[in-house]
Structure 1
Amino acid sequence: MVSCVYFGQIGKEDAERLLERHGKDGSFLLRDSQSVSGALCLCVRKAPFVHTYRIEHSSLGWAVETINRKKPQWFQSLDELLECYRRHTPGHMVPLLYPLEKANLHTEDRPSPAAKQAYMEM
């Protein structure tokens, strides 16, 4: 599942735009965190917002950061984390209902690294 919903190094605004354009309440994707190296962000749409949850990785595995610093639930893989939260979403999170799969998006809708290129040699 992770490979289907992982969008890599797209920014927060690009993730929000994708979820707003192609998603519905409960649609989600994963992206790299822009502020914490090695962390991921789980972005979930619940109109009128896109909620973002940071996923951290350590020797214990993968866990969603908790707001009130409660002890997080650790998983051995990202797939396990996503599947568990799809079946039973904690009360502080928006339910994960619909994976926003990259393969289902048109190529022109996906942000590309080349789009940020400002210099072109002729």
Structure 2
Amino acid sequence: MEVCCRGCMPCCSRLWNWIWPEFHYPNMTRPAEIPTISGDIRAPSPKKKPTQLYAALFDFEARSEEELTIKEGDKLSVIEKRGEYVLAKKLTGSMESGLVPATYVAILQDEFANHKWYYGNINRLKAEKLLLASQNKDGSFLVRISESHSDEYTISARNDGKVFHFRIQRSSIGAYFVSDKISFATLGELIRYYQNNSRSLGVPLDEPCAQQRR
């Protein structure tokens, strides 16, 4: 009826609109902002990516409260650059932060790809198949890239004829950890710790997975 009336007597459009008000669908586009309880609007904060890992090239003795004393080999997270200096945070020990000369630090790349226990981008099922193969025994393990977080890793370890998986997370300053009670500057340091402290993980990490990668 509505279509017929509107078509035959368009001059009565105000009457038809009163009888059959037009319906406007709400905008279903998801807003870029999230309303808070207080009523103001705030954009959702993006997930922070771990910062790049650095190492101290030389010893440096702090000369003021703003500077940071470092020793050669210290693992650091560089927060920001400030002219000829960088604001750095120690990843071990005191976890202090402060300014150090930019020429005293350099980017440190993990060399875990050279380790026999590193299997890269394989999934959970593949890891279990490899570890349960006849060439391996309890205590065999491997490290793989996390399926859900590409910047994190997973330890897959065999014990009592089963395979257990432990997520290795990254902190906001780039440190590696399984338990938030202890963290490590590099992935290699984390693996060495749990190889020597199997009770902390609950399963032994005796030997890298012996099955060849395919």
TM-score, normalization: structure 2? 0.43
**Counterpart for residue 62 of structure 1:** 176
Aligned residues of 1:60 and 1:74 also touching (Cα < 8 A): no
1:73 is displaced (CA, Å) by 0.8
Matches within 5 A, 1:88-99: 88-99=197-208
1:9 is displaced (CA, Å) by 1.2
1:8 is displaced (CA, Å) by 1.2
Aligned residues of 2:138 and 2:161 also touching (Cα < 8 A): no
Larger radius of gyration: 2
1:48 is displaced (CA, Å) by 2.6
Matches within 5 A, 1:4-19: 4-19=116-131
Change (3 A) 1:11 1:96: same
Q: Deviations over 1:70-104 (max 9, x none)?
A: x3310111111111111112345211111125xx6
Instruction: Find the residue that maps to 2:198 and give its secondary structure.
Output: coil
**Counterpart for residue 150 of structure 2:** 37
Say if 2:129 is the partner of 1:20. Answer: no
Q: Which runs of 5+ in 2 are unaligned?
A: 1-110
Instruction: Find the residue that maps to 2:132 and give its secondary structure.
Output: helix
Q: C-alpha separation between the residues in 2 aligned to 1:82 and 1:91?
A: 12
Give the ranges of 4+ consecutive aligned residues of structure 1 lying more than 4 Å apart after TM superposition. none
Q: C-alpha separation between the residues in 1 aligned to 2:201 and 2:193?
A: 15
Identity level (%) = 33
From the two aligned structures, give the one with the greater helix fraction.
1
Q: Which runs of 5+ in 1 are unaligned?
A: 112-122
How many residues are treated as equivalent by the alignment?
100
Q: C-alpha separation between the residues in 1 aligned to 2:155 and 2:205?
A: 10
Say if 2:196 is the partner of 1:87. Answer: yes
Q: C-alpha separation between the residues in 2 aligned to 1:83 and 1:91?
A: 12
1:49 is displaced (CA, Å) by 1.2
**Counterpart for residue 184 of structure 2:** 75
Q: C-alpha separation between the residues in 2 aligned to 1:49 and 1:9?
A: 21
Q: What amino acid does structure 2 have at the position aligned with 1:85?
A: Y
Aligned residues of 2:177 and 2:184 also touching (Cα < 8 A): yes
Q: C-alpha separation between the residues in 1 aligned to 2:128 and 2:174?
A: 30
TM-score, normalization: structure 1? 0.72
RMSD (Å) for aligned C-alpha atoms: 2.0
Q: Deviations over 1:5-60 (max 9, x none)?
A: 11111111100000011321010000111122311110000133100000011215
